[in-house]
Structure 1
Amino acid sequence: LAGIVDVTLSGLSPDLRCTFDLACLQEESYREVAALQAIPIGTVRSRVNRVRTLLRARLKQEFADYAV
């Protein structure tokens, strides 16, 4: 599972990867991430959502044979 996540994250653009890393892996608040990257908080939200959507799709694809 960790390998799938790592491969998916490594394929992201640097902007998406950095935003996701700060917000989700390092658990910084969206406000802090926005300030650190000098971007609007809405951009932080959309980037995190985009990465979560990509991860969800990748995991569904990978584990489709195990679905109940």
Structure 2
Amino acid sequence: MSVLELTEESLAPVDCLREERARCVRREGCRTIAMWTELYGIIRGYLEGITISDLMRGNGGGDYVI
């Protein structure tokens, strides 16, 4: 995941979970923060299990440009 962290601004699903942000003043009363925090954990856990080597061993991905 460190490669993604270096190339992407943030992987957080909502702005208030970004590490460089100050803690949201409305966090204590936020009805969705638990959901977003859990989703962020799932995203990070999934990506931490993938290495560049894993990506290189993939199915080739075809010959195309996005």
Name the one with the larger helix percent. Answer: 1
TM superposition score normalised by structure 1 = 0.47
Q: Which has the larger radius of gyration?
A: 2
TM superposition score normalised by structure 2 = 0.48
